[in-house]
Amino acid sequence: MSFTLPPLPYDYSALEPFVDTTTMQVHHDKHHAAYVNNVNAALQKFPELSSLGIVDLNESVGTSKVPTDIATAVRNNGGGHLNHTFFWKIMTSPSNTNGPSGELKAAIESAFGSVDEMKNKFNAAAAARFGSGWAWLVVKEDGSLVITSTPNQDNPIMKIAENPGIPVLGLDVWEHAYYLKYQNRRPEYIAAWWNVVNWEQANKNFESAKQGDLKALL
């Protein structure tokens, strides 16, 4: 089974003016496509892994399930495929975003004091990630929320994660995600991103995460 590039769930221009059209075209059609092609190429060497879905493959990173010969390629490109598939779904048109609600809002307030304070801590994690990587809001095994970041294309479901959990939100802070519009102004991009967060999807992610249902995230 080969992985395929999923279509965006909206037009390239849907996130304007906060994420520009050209960035979305390059990010999805070039960068994400490259991760898909590269992980498929790596798995051709070990056909027995072809039955694994992208979630199971990411969960296997750092374990003996992934042969040493392709461990780095799977970590980087399998991670890139999962992370971006998740990322597209957690964004929406600015007119459709309205903040967390229900149990997710209550959990955020319990963990961080307020939604604004959660955003502040998330922004700090995203801005402080040296080089390329991601910032995440995740549900830990005990059901609590925590903010973390990962390098490169790592994610919290990998066995190598410092703060493992199931993602509710994830933000790409690789330069290719923002450089055409924001240049070196990563904090400006991070702040603008909240205008396109798909909180309806985040609420669904939280419900799935509480049940330990990783596959529902994609």
CA distance 119 to 104: 14
Which residue reads 């495929």 in tokens? 81
pLDDT at residue 181 in the model: 98
**Structural contact between residues 28 and 91, judged by C-beta atoms closer than 8 angstroms:** no
* Residue 81 counted as an annotated binding residue: no
CA dihedral 8, 33, 56, 68 (to 10 degrees): -170
pLDDT at residue 51 in the model: 87
CA dihedral 198, 201, 206, 210 (to 10 degrees): -170
* Residue 27 counted as an annotated binding residue: yes
For the sheet containing 133-139, what is the strand order?
145-151, 133-139, 166-172
Contacts of 217 (CB under 8 A, 6+ apart): 55, 86, 166, 167, 205, 208, 209
In this structure, the chain runs to a length of 218
* Residue 28 counted as an annotated binding residue: no
- Delineate the domains of the chain, giving CATH numbers in brackets: 21-89 (1.10.287.990), 94-217 (3.55.40.20)
* Residue 31 counted as an annotated binding residue: no
pLDDT at residue 50 in the model: 78
Tens digit of pLDDT at every position of the chain (218 positions): 689 999 999 999 999 999 999 999 999 999 999 999 999 999 998 988 878 999 999 999 999 999 999 999 999 999 999 999 999 999 999 998 889 999 999 999 999 999 999 999 999 999 999 999 999 999 999 999 999 999 999 999 999 999 999 999 999 999 999 999 999 999 999 999 999 999 999 999 999 999 999 888 88
